[in-house]
Amino acid sequence: MVSHLLRFIFLLSMLPEVIHAQTKGDGRPNILFILVDDLGYHDLGYTGSIFYETPNIDRLASEGMTFTNAYAASPICSPSRAAIMTGKYPARLNLTDYIPGNRHYGPHSDQKLASHPFKLFLDPNETTIAEALRSAGYSTFFAGKWHLGENEKDHPENHGFEINVGGNHTGHPEGGYFSPYNNPQLTDGPEGEYLTDRLTDETIKYMVQKRAQPFFAFLSFYTVHLPLQGKAEKIEKYQKKLNQIRLDGEGFSQQDQTYIKYHQDNPQYAAMVESLDENIGRLMGFLSQTGLERNTLVIFTSDNGGMATSNLAAQIPTSNAPLRTGKGYLHEGGICVPLIFRLPGTIKVGSTSEVPVIGTDFYPTFLAMAGLETLPEQHRDGISLQPLLTGKSMDERPLFWYYPHYSGGLGGRPSAAIRDGDFKLIYSFETNSGELFNVKRDKEEVSDLSLKLPKKKNQLNKKLQNWIGEMDVQLPYPNPSYQPEK
């Protein structure tokens, strides 16, 4: 508490300098990109949660544009993050699973297929969004989860970020959410300091130190990824709340060895979501108090859907219901994510877009919003969303996913998918067949239209297979160790 108070006093003392510096800027917007780990689409108040409390994120949503059909480029973290950084599909990057991935340990006897090796790092030959903005005069900052390589040479500072606080090879906080953190890229705070608070402190500190130079701050929270560790007083609050509500229907269903969760009822997870929300409030308060909000593009999103399945029911933190399944799957629960853009005076307050967009679109959008030339040979799988953000219309285009892996204990299986207009086809590599859904009418993906609309299914499957061919991927192959159950 004392350390937070001292930091707050220090920040207040710097506000006049920050405000003065911004009046001397060149007019290009600052960019604050907030990425949350494993946050499900329905984990927020404005998207329908009645158990988790997110007043600050809900307020942010009301102040800008929300997207109801925003997608991660992968149902798993590392490939999704690589797509954000490069503007390319994970299939094109050959970075298709979390690093190091299940295939690192060899195929299991209960898996019908095996996958080919994929890159265990973000290719240094790619020009990242941080490198593009830095070359155009932006200061660049990264805080939090990176998970795009196994070695120090793969860290954020070698991909365009001048400052790296906490980013390395790990996909979760190795020391947990309370200091000491066991993170070589993040000095320990006072015992018991909360990681989500600390990463926000570091981001505010960075923004305070900026002068006339526009900045790109990438705040990549480790939360709400496992382990489930919330603040004690918040856990107690949500335990009491849980005791006062009635949950209808079964809490889980089971498919083979996988449990699927249908209720948002975990006090630990709710506590983590509330701490996230408090820190979004701190960030927005800082931008408001300094006047930075007038020229700062804020983006809030998640790297994939919420973790709603597992072979261990007690370890499932959230539910994406009514969306189907979650992290590790190409159903809506695994790839549909919350997305908010805010830039006062440019993006209409309280606006909503139903246009399907995907993680590869951030790169060209940031360049366009900064008034910079786009780099179509780099971010070739993304398009600028600037027309939507400024009240204009845009033609829709097909979106694609390629996930040729088993998602471990989550239960997902090798698959690919296409969304084209209102329809989505999910293709199984195990069965060489696809399921067709009208996701505008059936977001829950309960009605397979394959038999009713064979022409539509064949049309989408042809587009998907052509795209897979264009990506020049190595398809999953029969697992020599496979031992089918008798």
Question: In whole angstroms, what is the distance from residue 74 CA to residue 89 CA?
Answer: 9
pTM of the model: 0.95
More confident residue, 5 or 216: 216
Band of pLDDT at residue 24, cut at 50, 70 and 90: very low
Q: Which residue has the tokens 């097909």?
A: 398
The DSSP code for 13 is H
Q: What angle do CA 10, 13, 19 make, to 5 degrees?
A: 125
What's the distance, Cα to Cα, between the start and end of the chain in Å? 60
Q: What DSSP assignment string belongs to 314-344?
A: GG-----TTS-S-TTSSSHHHHB--EEEE-T
Per-residue pLDDT at 21? 47
Residues in Cβ contact with 296 at an 8 Å cutoff, skipping those fewer than 6 apart: 29, 30, 31, 32, 287, 343
pLDDT per position as a tens digit, 37-49: 999 999 999 999 9
Q: Which residue has the tokens 């923004």?
A: 207
Question: In whole angstroms, what is the distance from residue 4 CA to residue 165 CA?
Answer: 18
Please give the structure tokens belonging to residue 367: 């360049």
Sign of the torsion angle spanned by Cα atoms 98, 101, 102, 107: positive
User: Among 132, 95, 110, which residue's Cα sits nearest to residue 473?
Assistant: 95
CATH topology of domain 2-391: Alkaline Phosphatase, subunit A (3.40.720)
pLDDT per position as a tens digit, 199-255: 999 999 999 997 668 999 999 999 999 999 999 999 999 999 999 998 888 899 999
Burial bucket for residue 381 (CB in 10 Å: 0-12, 13-18, 19+) = buried
Q: Is the pLDDT confidence value at 281 over 70?
A: yes
Residues in Cβ contact with 454 at an 8 Å cutoff, skipping those fewer than 6 apart: none
Q: What integer is the mean pLDDT of 255-276?
A: 97
Q: What integer is the mean pLDDT of 127-137?
A: 98
Q: What angle in degrees, to the nearest 10, is found between the helix axes of 195-209 and 267-290?
A: 10
Band of pLDDT at residue 9, cut at 50, 70 and 90: low
User: Among 205, 238, 270, which residue's Cα sits nearest to residue 4?
Assistant: 205
Is it true that the peptide bond before 224 is cis, omega within 30 degrees of 0? yes
Per-residue pLDDT at 108? 78
User: Among 239, 201, 425, 226, which residue's Cα sits nearest to residue 307?
Assistant: 226
User: Among 400, 394, 359, 398, which residue's Cα sits nearest to residue 379?
Assistant: 359
Question: In whole angstroms, what is the distance from residue 171 CA to residue 411 CA?
Answer: 19
Please give the structure tokens belonging to residue 401: 């996913």
Question: In whole angstroms, what is the distance from residue 461 CA to residue 467 CA?
Answer: 10
Tell me how crowded residue 161 is: count the other CB atoms within 10 A of its CB: 24
Q: What angle in degrees, to the nearest 10, is found between the helix axes of 195-209 and 2-23?
A: 30
Q: Where are the domains of the chain?
A: 2-391
* Cβ contact 363:87 at 8 Å: yes
User: Among 56, 43, 433, which residue's Cα sits nearest to residue 281?
Assistant: 56
Cα-trace Rg, the chain:
22
Question: In whole angstroms, what is the distance from residue 274 CA to residue 57 CA?
Answer: 10
Please give the structure tokens belonging to residue 72: 């991660």
Question: In whole angstroms, what is the distance from residue 474 CA to residue 486 CA?
Answer: 30
Per-residue pLDDT at 372? 97
